[in-house]
Structure 1
Amino acid sequence: MQDLSTELSLVTVTYNSAKVLGGHIDSLRSSATGPLPKWFIVDNASTDDTDSLLSTYGQDVELIKNSENLGFGSACNIGIAASKTRYVLILNPDTELSESAIQQLLVEMKSRDAAIAGPALDPSDDRSVEAVDWLVGAVLLFDTEKMDSVGYFDEQFFLYEEDVDICKRANDANLKVLHCRNVSIPHVGGGSTVRSRAVIEFIHFHKGRSYAIYAHKHGLGDKFVEAYVRRNKKRMIVALLTFGVARYVRAKAKIKGVNSVQ
């Protein structure tokens, strides 16, 4: 069995995630048979009980507190830079960990010479392991010896598309991106702040903005973005006709996000 405490580091990015963060940390602590890996909690200026919660875990975790919300990718980069191990596992705080799953994911990465590896995030009978175009960013294992030449998260993306972008860049560099469906690390969801109307607008603004940034960065063309805007304009019209206020707010925010990209 690999000694995870020397093989890899963990980086969990948080933003008002106190309600799920304890369970996230405890899921690994309760399943660990040896020392925990170095575990960085990179917090994007949370205003909930994150700080006081983490103080109860002593030296099991190290808090890196940002003075403002820098976004997911920027916080990941801070954690990766703080890590001293070859392998770094990026995590959402609403994932359920186990020592055996992390061990297996690391074995698959090494044996198949991958640069990025991700597990199954939902229950499935599919046990396949295959190279893919991209992985969901909730759980990503990086081999830094391979990825250092590619770079990590593009900080243009505040939220969304940063996982697609980093996987594309790895693939473009002829590095392997591996989906290990035989490894289960459940993504429970709902790990951040309560979704008020303002939060929903903020989230969907960044969905639209990141979509446009990705399209422009990778040369998908104006027509690709224009089609996205048309789809969301249609959603706004349908929402008005059916009194779907939430759908209208989401679609309008996405278009605003697209329009914010010059």
Structure 2
Amino acid sequence: MQDLLSELTLVTVTFNSAEVLEAHIASLRETATAAMPRWIVVDNASTDATDAIAAANSDCVEMLKSDKNLGFGAACNLGIHASKTRYVMVLNPDTQLSEAAIDQLLAELKARGAAIAGPALEPEEDKSIIDAPWLVGAVLLFDTQLMNPVGYFDERFFLYEEDKDVCKCANDAGLKVIHCRNVSIPHVGGASTVRTRTVNEFIHFHKGRSYVLYAKKHGLGSENIDRYIQKNKKRMLIALFSFGVNRYARAKAKIKGVRSVSEA
């Protein structure tokens, strides 16, 4: 396969992701047969060993350090704007890369004139390539020549829905967004940050908040927001009777996130 790595920049966003970052970097180092691409690690003020891991791999990655947690989309934007190549791939640090998969995804993007491409994040029997309304943000490949006029991540979304939003904006601008099920880049999922109770409540707060931001931005109607609130109130009630402490906390955090937008 033709080497395409030199044509793109990789952007990995981290937040206390030391547990998975070393394997993430090693997955490409161990499969690359050509020169490594430029690889930017945008770190959201981690307090774990993320800095040390990046420093130990400074021959192939460079750290772009924020002094606060900007959220996923804003950190992606930093990396995209720091890149100089036409093609940029944004990544979660709990994905497993290979030279062959990256080359193939870029080849499919170019062949179809797409603005955004995403791979299969787990094994799939269906190897088709389809136009997609949205893709999971764990791996997104952008053609910046097409996307620059549209823009990238809306930084009001701290976590969640930013991937759906950027894909919708591309589709609304008449650009192609493709899901390449014939390309596999495995995603562990939920492993990029250690999950404590506080972290879980923070995550579900932003799930609720981002749901409302997306609904308002794209005119989904107040009835959908009301239905979302009622669904989570029902979850809280069921959790009370079943002693589901964690389930109750997650649903409560989502409603708090909704109200942080609705009452603003």
Interval of TM-score (by shorter of Structure 1 and Structure 2): over 0.9
Which residue does the alignment assign to 1:30?
A: 30
Counterpart in 2 of 1:140? Answer: 140
Contact 1:4 1:35 in 2 (8 A): no
Where does residue 201 of structure 2 map in the other structure?
201
Looking at structure 1, the residues matched to 147 and 89 of structure 2 have their Cα atoms a distance apart, in angstroms, of: 13
Aligned counterpart, 1:98 = 98
Shift of 1:123: 1.0
1:82-129 Cα deviation digits (max 9, x unpaired): 000000000000000000000000110011110000000011111010
Distance 2:149 2:53 in 1: 37
Contact preservation (8 Å) 2:5, 2:99:
no
Where structure 2 has 5 or more consecutive residues not aligned to the other structure, the ranges are none
Q: Which secondary structure state, in structure 2, belongs to the residue aligned with residue 90 of structure 1?
A: strand
Displacement of 1:140 after TM fit? 0.2
Q: Which residue of 2 aligns with 1:251?
A: 251
- Secondary structure at the residue paired with 1:260? helix
Distance in 2 between residues matched to 1:95 and 1:122, nearest whole Å = 10
The one-letter code of the counterpart of 1:114 is: A
Sequence identity percentage: 67
Kept after mapping to 2: 8 A contact 1:4/1:36: no
Alignment partners' CA distance in 1, 2:238 and 2:74: 36
- What is the CA-CA distance between 1:191 and the residue it aligns to? 2.8
Taking the TM superposition and a 5 Å limit, the aligned residue runs for 1:143-154 are 143-154=143-154
* CA distance in structure 2 between the aligned counterparts of 1:5 and 1:139, rounded to whole angstroms: 15
- Write out aligned runs for 1:65-214 (5 A): 65-214=65-214
Structure 1 segments, 4+ long, off by >3 Å, are 1-5
Deviations 1:10-61 (A, max 9, x none): 0000000011000000000000000000000000000000111111112200
1:50 matched to 2:37: no
Give the letter aligned to residue 191 of structure 1: A
SS of equivalent residue, structure 1 residue 31: coil
For residues 122-181 of structure 1, the C-alpha deviation after alignment (integer angstroms, 9 at most, x for no partner) is: 111110101010000000000000000100000000000000000000000010000000
Provide the aligned length of Structure 1 versus Structure 2.
262
SS of 1:58 mapped into structure 2: coil
What SS does the aligned partner of 2:29 have? helix
Deviations 1:182-230 (A, max 9, x none): 0000001233332221111100000000000000011111111010000
Q: Matched residues in 1 for 2:91 and 2:174: separation?
A: 24
Contact 1:8 1:85 in 2 (8 A): yes
CA distance in 2, matches of 1:189, 1:251: 20
| Counterpart residue identity of residue 256, structure 2 | K
Contact map agreement 1:201 1:253 (CA 8 A) in 2: yes
Normalized against structure 1, the TM-score is what? 0.98
Cα separation, 2, equivalents of 1:189 and 1:134: 18
Q: CA RMSD in A?
A: 0.9
CA distance in 1, matches of 2:190, 2:176: 30
Task: State whether residues 134 and 163 of structure 1, in contact with CA within 8 Å, keep that contact through their aligned partners in structure 2.
Answer: yes
One-letter amino acid of the counterpart of residue 141, structure 1: L
Amino acid at match of 2:105: L
Unaligned runs of 5+ in 1: none
SS in 2 for 1:93: coil
Q: Is the 8 A contact 1:12 1:41 kept in 2?
A: yes
Given residue 52 of structure 2, which amino acid in structure 1 is its aligned partner? S
**How far apart are 1:5 and its partner, in Å?**
4.2
- Alpha-carbon distance in structure 2 between the residues aligned to 1:112 and 1:192: 31
TM-aligned CA distance change 1:257 to 1:39, over 3 Å: same
